[in-house]
Chains A and B, each alone.
Chain A
Amino acid sequence: MNAFVAVFLAATVSVTPIQYRQRTLPNGLQMYAVEDHSAPTVAIQVWYHVGSKDDPPGRSGFAHLFEHMMFKSTAHMKSEMMDRLTEDVGGYNNASTADDVTWYYEEVPSNYLQTLLWAEADRMGSLNVDEANFNSEREVVKEEFRTSVLGNPYGLFYYAITKDSFTTHPYNRPTIGSIEDLDASTLADVQKFHATYYRPDNATLVVAGDFDPKQLDAWVDRYFGAVPKPDAPIPRISVNEPPREEAKKITETGPNVPLPAVALTWLGPAASSADRYALDVAASILAQGESSQLYQSLVYRQQIAQDVSADDDLREDLGLNVITATVASEKSPDVVIKAIEAELKNLEEKPVSAAELAKAKNQLITDRLRRRETNDGKAFSIAYAATVLHDASEVNNGFTKLQAVTAADVKRVVDKYIKNQKSLTITYVSR
C-alpha cells in the first residue's frame, strides 16, 4: 500500500520550469528576467555578493549596518527616497543581510520599473551618508539587536549556535553583530565598504513580472551599464573551517529563559554541494511536520520536548546541520539530547521507507511551488540559486534532483555528515 502511494505521488508531480533569460553586462553585472503579465506589478531584486562573513575586523555586524545605510542619501537621492519611489506609489521595499549575500528588493506597479532601475543603479553608483543619519540609523540597528537577541528569551540561544559552531571561519560572527562593534563603526567604514563591494561585477539583478523585455534591456544598459567597474579585485574570504577533532558539550545561559533548549550541530557541505538535496530530504524526514521522526518521538510519544526542528543550513563556503529542541517543562535537557541521539542512530541504521521518502519529497516540492506564486518569490529563488549556489539553473533543476534522491542517498549523507562528524551539543538554560 505504501509503495503504491509513493509511486502514484511521484508520478503526479510535474513542475513547469520558470522561464528566465540571463545577460551579462560589459561591466560584469549579471541580469536575470522572468516575464509574467498576470498582474501589473514587477519585482526587482539586487543581490550583492557580500555578507556578514565579510564584516571588517573588529566590526561584527557591519555588513548589516551598512545595508541600513543604503536607504540613506546618494548623489541623486535624499534619505528615504527609496520609500518615496516604492511605498508612496503602492509598492514596498526592504533588504536583508545574510552570511554570504546582501539583497535589496522591491515590488512596484509595473509602470514604475524604469524609475526603480534608475534608483537601484544610483545607489550602486554612489552613497552619500552624513554623520547624523549614520548615528541615528546605528541606534535603530542597536534596537534591532535588542529586539532579536535580548527581547526574545531564545535570542541568545540562536546567537550562541552561530558563535559556538564555527571555530575559525567568520561564519562564527552573528550577522547582527555586537553593540560594542556597532558602536566602534565609523562613517569612513561605510564609504570604504561601498567602494569595495558595491560594484556591478559583484551584483546580480533580477526582474520578475510585467515588463517589455526590449525595454527592460535598454533601461538596464542605460542605468546599470553606466556604473563603472573598479579595477581593484574584490576581496574574498578564504578561511577554511578545520574539521572538528572531538565531540563537545557546552552550556550557554540567558536571563529569563522559561524552558531550557538544546542544539546539536555538525559542520556540513557548501550550499552548492550535490549532497544538498539528500540533506534536505534527511532534515524533512527528521523534523518536517508532525509525522516526522523527531516530532513523533520527542514531542508526541515521549512528551519531553515542546518543539523540535532539523535544518541543513548550507551556506556558500560550508554549512551547518542543526537540530534544536525546546525542553518541555519539568523534563531534563539531557533526556532530550539522548532522545535526539537515539533517533539519529535509528536513521543511521534503518533505511528510510519508500513512503517516508515520498512524503519528504512532496513536502519539499510543495514548499518550492508556494514560493512561485509571487514575482518576489520567483525573483528570490533565481537570485539565491545564481549567487549562493553559483548556478541559476538550479531553480528548475532542483526539482529533478530532489525527485531523484534515493533511500541510499539519504543513508550516505547521514553517515557522511552526522555519523562520521563530531557534534557540538549546546544546552541553554536560565542564568
Chain B
Amino acid sequence: MNFLLIAALIAQVETAPPPPAAPREPQLPKPAEKTLSNGLRVIVVQKRGVPIVATRLLIKTGAEADPPNLAGLADMTASLLTKGTKTRNAVQIARGVEALGAALESGAAWDNSFVTLNVMSSNLPKALGFVSDIVRNPVFANDEIERLRAQNLDALQVAMHEPRALVKFIAARVVFGDTPYGHNLGGTPESLRRIRRADIVAFHRAHYHPNNAVLVFGGDIAPERAFALAETELGSWKSGGQRPSAARTAESAVLHHRVVVIDMPEAGQAAVVVTRPGLRRVDPSYFIAQVTNSILGGGYSSRLNEEIRIKRGLSYGAGSSFELRREVGPFIASAQTKNESAAEVASLMVEEMNKLGKEPVADVELGPRKAVLIGSFGRSLETSESLVSRVAFLALYGLGLDEITRYISSIQSVTAPQVENFAAGHFSDSSIVIVGDAKKFIDALRQRFQDVEVIPINELDLNSPTLRKK
C-alpha cells in the first residue's frame, strides 16, 4: 500500500521524458588489409564476442556487363558456381557446406558478382575451401544450366505477377533505356532462354580473376589468421590478363521523363514509383545525398512517410533511396497503395521532392535526420555480415576504408543550403511508374500529369526501352 502511494506521487510529477545522459563514443572497427601476390585484395575486420565469421568475395564485374540480348548472364554465371566444380557436384557442395552449418550463397548484383559465406568460426577453414573451389573450378554442367534456367524463368514469372517487383523492372527501363543498368539483372523470359553454356564459360573466364576481386572477412577472426587462410585457399589462384575496363558511356544518365502505367487488372494494390538518375557512389556529393534522402524518404519519420502514411493513411510505408553504383544509379521513391489512391500518392511524392529544392530545411528537422543516418551506420557495424558488406562496397568502388572513421563527421558537416541545392538539381523531371488496376486511377492520374502511357500487362516487353511488344 505504502509502495503504491509513493509510486503514484512520483508518477504525477514525471510528465516529461527525462533528458539523455552524456553520450559515449562508439569504437569504430579498424580494417586490416593485405594484397596477395596474385593481386587478390584481402581485408579483415575483427570483432570479438560471438563465434561467427562472415566473408564476402566480390568480383568487380556484375550485371552491367551483361550483353544487351543476354540479360541475366552475370547472375546465371554466379548462381551456377555452387552447382558443381571439377571435384564436387552440386549435391556434394550443398551437403558439405551445410554439414558445417554454413550458409554459402552466390549471385550477381550491379557492378559486382559475389560469393558470401557465414559460418561458425571453428568451421571457417573448411568452409573457405568451398569458396575457393567454386570460384576457381566451376564446370557449368549442362543439366545444371537447364535446371537453373527453368527455376529462374519460374521465379521471373512470379515476380511479374507482383506489382512491387514488376514496378522496379519497369523503372530501370524508364530511367536507363537500353544502356547497361536498364535491364532486369535476373534477365527477361526471352533473354534467359538465349543464354548458352559458352556465354557463361566466357563470362567466367573474362571476369573471375584475383586481380579483379576483393575478399573481406568480418567477425571472430584475427587478421593474421585470415590472411594465412586466404593465402592457403586462394594464393595459387592465377591472375587474369587485363582487368576489364570500368568505363561506361555517359548516356546512361540521360534524363527521359515518362509517366508509365502498367495495367494489371487483377492487382489488389498498386505499386507507385517516382524515379530518375541519381549519382555515382564516388560522387563528392555522396554525404549530401544521404542527408537529403534521409529527410525525404529514409526512415519512418521522413517526409514521404509522414505525408503518405502518417498524415493520410494511404500506405503501409513510403520511402526513397539513391541506389549507388559505379556509374550514375537510380533514385527511387516508392509506395504501395490501394488502386484508387495511386494518383494521389504519385502527386505527393513529386510535390515533396520539389519542395525540398525550394525551401531550406530547418535545423530541428536536419539534426534528427542526420542522427537517423549515424545511428543506422552504427548498427550496420553490429553483425559480421553487414560489417563485411559495408567494407566490401568501399573496396569495390575504390573508396578509402577510412570512410568508416570519417562517416559520422562527414554527415554532421552537411548544411541546409547544400541539401536545398542538391535537391534542386537532382529531383526535377522525374518519371512516374505505376503498376496496378488502371481503370481505378487513370482519370485522376491524367488530371495531374501529362502524356500518360498505358501499357496493358499482356503487351509489356521488358526487353525494349519502349516497354511495348512490337
Q: From A119, which residue of chain B is reached at the shortest CB distance?
A: B17
**A40, CB-defined interface residue at 8 Å:** yes
**B150, CB-defined interface residue at 8 Å:** yes
The one of B11, B90, B310 in contact with A80, judged by C-beta atoms closer than 8 angstroms, is: B310
**When the two chains form their complex, are residues A290 and B7 in contact, meaning their CB atoms are under 8 A apart?**
no
If A87-B299, A115-B17, A151-B269 touch, whether A140 touches B313 (CB-CB below 8 Å) is yes
If A140-B309, A372-B50 touch, whether A90 touches B99 (CB-CB below 8 Å) is no
**B36, CB-defined interface residue at 8 Å:** no
**Chain B interface: which of A309-317, A338-346, A361-369?**
A361-369
Q: From A41, which residue of chain B is reached at the shortest CB distance?
A: B378
**When the two chains form their complex, are residues B94 and A88 in contact, meaning their CB atoms are under 8 A apart?**
no
The one of B49, B100, B161, B315 in contact with A256, judged by C-beta atoms closer than 8 angstroms, is: B161
**B27, CB-defined interface residue at 8 Å:** yes
**When the two chains form their complex, are residues B160 and A258 in contact, meaning their CB atoms are under 8 A apart?**
yes
> Could you tell me which residues of chain B, from 186 to 211, have a CB within 8 Å of some CB in chain A?
none
> Could you tell me which residues of chain B, from 427 to 464, have a CB within 8 Å of some CB in chain A?
none
Q: A138–B313 Cα gap in the complex (Å)?
A: 8
Neighbouring A residues of B266 by C-beta, 8 Å? 255-256
Q: From B381, which residue of chain A is reached at the shortest CB distance?
A: A39
The number of inter-chain residue pairs (CB within 8 angstroms) is 246
**A273, CB-defined interface residue at 8 Å:** no
**A329, CB-defined interface residue at 8 Å:** yes
Q: Give the size category of B's interface with A.
A: 35 or more
If A87-B301, A366-B120 touch, whether A143 touches B368 (CB-CB below 8 Å) is no
Q: A75–B299 Cα gap in the complex (Å)?
A: 26
**A404, CB-defined interface residue at 8 Å:** no
> Nearest-CB distance from A259 to chain B (Å)?
6
Neighbouring A residues of B382 by C-beta, 8 Å? 39, 373-375
Q: A260–B161 Cα gap in the complex (Å)?
A: 13
**When the two chains form their complex, are residues A366 and B49 in contact, meaning their CB atoms are under 8 A apart?**
no
**A28, CB-defined interface residue at 8 Å:** no
**B371, CB-defined interface residue at 8 Å:** yes
**When the two chains form their complex, are residues A90 and B90 in contact, meaning their CB atoms are under 8 A apart?**
no
Neighbouring B residues of A55 by C-beta, 8 Å? none
**B314, CB-defined interface residue at 8 Å:** yes
For the complex, would chain A's binding face be called helix, strand, loop or mixed by DSSP majority?
helix
Interface digits, B146-159 against A, CB 8 Å rule (1 contact, 0 not)?
01001101110110
**B20, CB-defined interface residue at 8 Å:** yes
If A228-B4, A256-B161, A289-B94 touch, whether A146 touches B336 (CB-CB below 8 Å) is yes
**A92, CB-defined interface residue at 8 Å:** yes
Q: A143–B345 Cα gap in the complex (Å)?
A: 13
If A13-B120, A256-B266 touch, whether A366 touches B10 (CB-CB below 8 Å) is no
Q: A364–B101 Cα gap in the complex (Å)?
A: 7
Q: A144–B158 Cα gap in the complex (Å)?
A: 21
**When the two chains form their complex, are residues A300 and B52 in contact, meaning their CB atoms are under 8 A apart?**
no
Neighbouring B residues of A40 by C-beta, 8 Å? 23-26
Interface digits, A145-187 against B, CB 8 Å rule (1 contact, 0 not)?
0110111110100000000000000000000000000000000
Total residues of chain A contacting the partner, CB 8 A:
92
**When the two chains form their complex, are residues A355 and B99 in contact, meaning their CB atoms are under 8 A apart?**
yes
**When the two chains form their complex, are residues A147 and B52 in contact, meaning their CB atoms are under 8 A apart?**
no
Q: From A90, which residue of chain B is reached at the shortest CB distance?
A: B375
**When the two chains form their complex, are residues B91 and A328 in contact, meaning their CB atoms are under 8 A apart?**
no
**A110, CB-defined interface residue at 8 Å:** yes
**Chain B interface: which of A45-53, A218-226, A237-245, A411-419?**
A218-226
Neighbouring B residues of A258 by C-beta, 8 Å? 157-158, 160-161
Q: Which of A5, A87, A365 has the most CB of B within 10 A?
A: A87
**When the two chains form their complex, are residues B26 and A153 in contact, meaning their CB atoms are under 8 A apart?**
no
Q: A109–B271 Cα gap in the complex (Å)?
A: 35
Neighbouring A residues of B314 by C-beta, 8 Å? 139, 143
Neighbouring A residues of B379 by C-beta, 8 Å? 41, 92, 107, 374
**When the two chains form their complex, are residues A146 and B338 in contact, meaning their CB atoms are under 8 A apart?**
yes
Q: From A289, which residue of chain B is reached at the shortest CB distance?
A: B98
**When the two chains form their complex, are residues B7 and A115 in contact, meaning their CB atoms are under 8 A apart?**
no
> Could you tell me which residues of chain B, from 358 to 404, have a CB within 8 Å of some CB in chain A?
367-368, 371-372, 374-376, 378-379, 381-384
**B80, CB-defined interface residue at 8 Å:** no
**When the two chains form their complex, are residues A12 and B122 in contact, meaning their CB atoms are under 8 A apart?**
yes
Interface digits, A1-25 against B, CB 8 Å rule (1 contact, 0 not)?
0000100010011010000000000
Q: From A113, which residue of chain B is reached at the shortest CB distance?
A: B21
**A253, CB-defined interface residue at 8 Å:** no
5 shortest interchain CB distances as A-B pairs: A150-B268, A90-B375, A139-B313, A362-B101, A88-B368
Instruction: Return 29 A-B CB contacts under 8 Å, by A number.
Output: A41-B379, A76-B16, A77-B17, A83-B301, A85-B17, A87-B299, A87-B301, A88-B301, A88-B371, A89-B20, A111-B20, A115-B17, A115-B18, A119-B17, A136-B313, A143-B315, A151-B163, A222-B14, A258-B161, A288-B98, A290-B94, A290-B98, A291-B94, A299-B151, A359-B98, A359-B99, A370-B50, A372-B50, A373-B50
Residues of B within 8 A of A (CB): 3-4, 7-8, 10-11, 14-27, 48-52, 90-91, 94-95, 97-103, 118-120, 122-123, 147, 150-151, 153-155, 157-158, 160-164, 264, 266-269, 271, 299-301, 309-316, 336-338, 367-368, 371-372, 374-376, 378-379, 381-384
* Other 7 A-B pairs with CB < 8 A, given A76-B16, A153-B162, A289-B98: A41-B378, A109-B375, A143-B315, A146-B269, A150-B268, A153-B161, A373-B50
